[in-house]
Amino acid sequence: MVTARFRFYEELNDFLAPERRKREFDYRCARAATVKNAIEALGVPHTEVELVLVNGESVEFSHILREGDRVAVYPRFETFDIRTLLRVRPKPLREPRFVADTHLGGLARLLRTLGFDTVYGNGLSDEDIISIALGEGRVILTRDKALLKRREVTHGCFVHAVKPREQMRELVERLQLASGLRPYSRCVHCNAVLKPVAKAAVLERIPASVARLYDEFLLCPPCDQVYWVGDHWREMRALLGDGGH
């Protein structure tokens, strides 16, 4: 066995046993244990970790721990600038695209409302979710730590909040999504890209009160849902604390 001294930062502490939060502690791990083994054994899914410093130097997940190592573990998007340091994950996903776990339907619909490409399906198994994430370059959103600990998973995000609106706020903040908001671009029901449609073409299908007030309309080609550009977006901005543009 080797003993290393660990310190976890920011929200990573939520995954630790209470007596290990926000302080240094010694942890005995198997000889030849990697940094990743130890971090996950302590309860933190590897997808939540952006940077690991061992004795002040950034290391990869495969780094083997040695007696007396001091290990500092940081979550993604810590406020200090880590661009010059090597991150544990080789390539960040450039455009945020998501696959939401089955219990996050409310969050998936809100993300689509904001314009983010989000796959969600009630019947998706863990295997389906992982293969969609890997095949389509999507970030897995889940509240299931076991799913994020799966070896194949490269990009995932544990959602701390419980209510959909708070989950959305959490993600916009943590993943710095505010600059990428594109309202009225995606169907809330099926995730397809919306197409502008002439008011005359949808007039028979919308309430008279809507026809009186609104002039811009959009159609979802696969599911034939009609959308209008109106107060909805103002509500969303209020929800996000007016972070949008």
- Residue 187 binds to Zn ion (criterion: CB under 5 A): yes
The CA–CA distances, whole Å, from 79 to 83, 161, 192 equal 11, 20, 34
Candidates 220, 227, 228, 240: give the one binding Zn ion (CB under 5 A).
220
- Residue 172 binds to Zn ion (criterion: CB under 5 A): no
- Residue 119 binds to Zn ion (criterion: CB under 5 A): no
Contact segment (CB under 5 A) with Zn ion among 57-65, 85-93, 188-196, 230-238 equals 188-196
Measured from the CB of residue 190, what is the shortest distance to Zn ion in angstroms? 3
- Residue 223 binds to Zn ion (criterion: CB under 5 A): yes
- Residue 32 binds to Zn ion (criterion: CB under 5 A): no
Q: Which residue is nearest to Zn ion (CB)?
A: 187
Measured from the CB of residue 224, what is the shortest distance to Zn ion in angstroms? 8
- Residue 12 binds to Zn ion (criterion: CB under 5 A): no
DSSP assignment of the chain? -EEEEEEE-GGGGGGS-GGGTTS-EEEEE-TT-BHHHHHHHTT--GGGEEEEEETTEE--TTPBP-TT-EEEEEETT-SS--TTSPPSSSS--SS--EEE-TT-HHHHHHHHHTT--EE--TT--HHHHHHHHHHHT-EEEES-HHHHHSTT--SEEE---SSHHHHHHHHHHHTT-GGG--TTSB-TTT-PBPEEE-HHHHGGGS-HHHHHH---EEE-TTT--EEE-SHHHHHHHHHTTS---
- Residue 188 binds to Zn ion (criterion: CB under 5 A): no
**Is the Cα dihedral 199, 201, 204, 205 positive or negative?**
negative
- Residue 192 binds to Zn ion (criterion: CB under 5 A): yes
Give the separation between CA 11 and CA 47, rounded to whole angstroms. 13
**What is the pattern of x (binds Zn ion, CB under 5 A) and - over residues 47-86?**
----------------------------------------
**What is the pattern of x (binds Zn ion, CB under 5 A) and - over residues 127-166?**
----------------------------------------
CB closer to Zn ion out of 100 and 187:
187
Candidates 30, 32, 41, 190: give the one binding Zn ion (CB under 5 A).
190
Q: Which amino acid is at 235?
A: E
Measured from the CB of residue 194, what is the shortest distance to Zn ion in angstroms? 8
Measured from the CB of residue 221, what is the shortest distance to Zn ion in angstroms? 8
Binding residues for Zn ion, rule: CB under 5 A, are 187, 189-190, 192, 220, 223
